Structure 1
Amino acid sequence: MAVLVFGAGGGLGQALVQELLTAGVTDQVIAITRQPKSAATSGAGIEHHQVADYSEESLQAVLSGIKEPVTGVLSTVGVLHTNDYMPEKRLAEVNAKQLAENFAVNATLPLLLMQQSLPLMDRKAPGFWVQLSAMVGSATNNYLGGWYSYRASKAALNMLLKTASIELRRTHKKLTVAAIHPGTTDTQLSAPFQERISEGKLYTPAESAERIVQVIQNLNPDNSGKLWHWNGEELPY
């Protein structure tokens, strides 16, 4: 039995690889990342695969060789800022390129990862398919505005996962699909914004990984398709 982790090379991804093993969720993690093997993605119970990108061609070169049953999939892929842009604070800053990239990485890619990895999972066995999302993607929880591309792409992600969960209730009755808000974690994604974070609200990758895995362990098919806070509370769409 194995759990597949997409985006396992970042700080939170590496911590999740370790926590899945430590918590006993699985005894085998298949780590797929664009990063080279590190200490956190090496060792007993970890199978590391470096890919050039997350295109279907690159992924199928890896996925087609997986023989052991996959009981869970966890994806950390996402983008908030790059060397070319930061989140838009004002409508005047919104541009087509940034919108397209955020939707491509934050919404489209996770759904395609599900499409490609789902055949590895037993239709009749319990399992989970989890994507890290963000509370700012909740339309009903948007009181500050700004961050147009990121908010909208995460909202789209949550809807895509919800839609997939409805279909999969018919074909994979014991599968739970979930989006999880990890909280503000000390990684490259949050680095430019950490000065404004309240004391005690910035979490280490290990802390966030432990909480995310706890949420996963409490999931069941009855609550498939929902968005969850790292503390286990359901978040509104």
Structure 2
Amino acid sequence: MSDVGQNNSSWPRCAVIFGASGGIGAALCDELARRGVRRIFAGSRSGDAPSTDAIVPFRFDLGDEKSIADAAALVRADNPDLVIVSTGVLTLADGTGPERSYRKLDADKMAEVLRINTIGPAIIAKHFLPLLPRESRSVFAALSARVGSIGDNRLGGWHSYRASKAALNMLLKNFAIELGRTHKKAIVAGLHPGTVDSDLSRPFQANLPDGQLSEPADAARSLLDTLAGLAPGDSGGLFAYDGTQITP
């Protein structure tokens, strides 16, 4: 890591946030606006976004590739140099939470978790990586999780969620290698935000130790600071909110 991004006050010029109606996504939009980013495209299924002069809302659906392609067409002229995928699921809409045992595995529910946590971000990358500038600093990042680390897995369980994030981490590494051949200053990274007070974590907050739960605004500041401190040599890695690298 380096302080290259933190010393470059012109970066980012234009940001795209997918999942802008969620706790972390909305906070990222707010923080980017506070930092003076001139144009922030804020995507959600509803089209809702924080209201500032800099923010342009758009609608997308992870299950609809055309909506993602349309979003790419919308932002292309603004030359985005920061794209963050702040989407994800831990508990499905029907209330199904992460499996604590292999006996609870269900093929359809596994497929849904992988569709949201892995395939959706990959399709966003397909359409947005080509938009990143070739001659200047750019970042494509996606929210991942420490539990997606195979080397760090000591408890087991949460099978679909762990697998979906591990697969996402592998895809981000693949994208970093491929993009690095043409975009020498580009960075692709996974981000572990910690446990943030959001809809995703709410069912699992009861037994958290004091001080482990962070507010979305604090998480957004930490994540953006972490991205600002990355250099091209860090591309393909998974980084925690405090800037430390997590072993795959």
Pairwise TM-score range, normalised by the shorter structure: over 0.9
Counterparts of 1:59-208 in structure 2, within 5 Å, are 59-66=68-75, 67-84=77-94, 85-208=96-219
Q: Secondary structure at the match of 1:163?
A: helix
CA distance in 2, matches of 1:58, 1:174: 28
Q: Name the structure, 1 or 2, with higher relative contact order (CA <8 Å, separation 6+).
A: 2
Which structure 2 residue ranges, 5 or more long, are not aligned? 1-12
- TM-superposed deviation, 1:37: 2.5
CA distance in 1, matches of 2:118, 2:92: 17
Which structure 1 residue ranges, 5 or more long, are not aligned? none
- TM-superposed deviation, 1:60: 2.4
Q: Mean Cα displacement is larger for which, 199-208 or 95-104?
A: 95-104
Do 2:33 and 2:52's aligned partners in 1 also have CA atoms closer than 8 Å?
A: no
Taking structure 1 as the reference length, what is the TM-score of the superposition? 0.94
- String of CA shifts for 1:132-185, please: whole Å, max 9, x gaps: 100000011111111000001100000110011011110111100000100000
Pair 1:208–1:174, CA change in 2 (3 A): same
Query: Is the counterpart of residue 42 in structure 1 residue 54 in structure 2?
Result: no
Q: Secondary structure at the match of 1:166?
A: helix
Match of 1:19 in 2: 31
User: Identity of paired residues, percent?
Assistant: 38
CA distance in 2, matches of 1:56, 1:99: 20
Do 2:63 and 2:115's aligned partners in 1 also have CA atoms closer than 8 Å?
A: no
- Amino acid across the alignment from 2:73: S
| Superposed CA RMSD | 1.3
- TM-superposed deviation, 1:77: 1.2
- TM-superposed deviation, 1:118: 1.8
Query: Is the counterpart of residue 230 in structure 1 residue 233 in structure 2?
Result: no
- String of CA shifts for 1:111-147, please: whole Å, max 9, x gaps: 1101111222222221000001000000111111110
CA distance in 2, matches of 1:82, 1:125: 39
- TM-superposed deviation, 1:43: 1.2
Match of 2:14 in 1: 2
CA distance in 2, matches of 1:53, 1:90: 28
Match of 1:51 in 2: 60
CA distance in 1, matches of 2:146, 2:89: 15
CA distance in 2, matches of 1:209, 1:164: 24
- Number of residue pairs matched by the alignment: 234
Q: Secondary structure at the match of 2:151?
A: helix
Taking structure 2 as the reference length, what is the TM-score of the superposition? 0.90
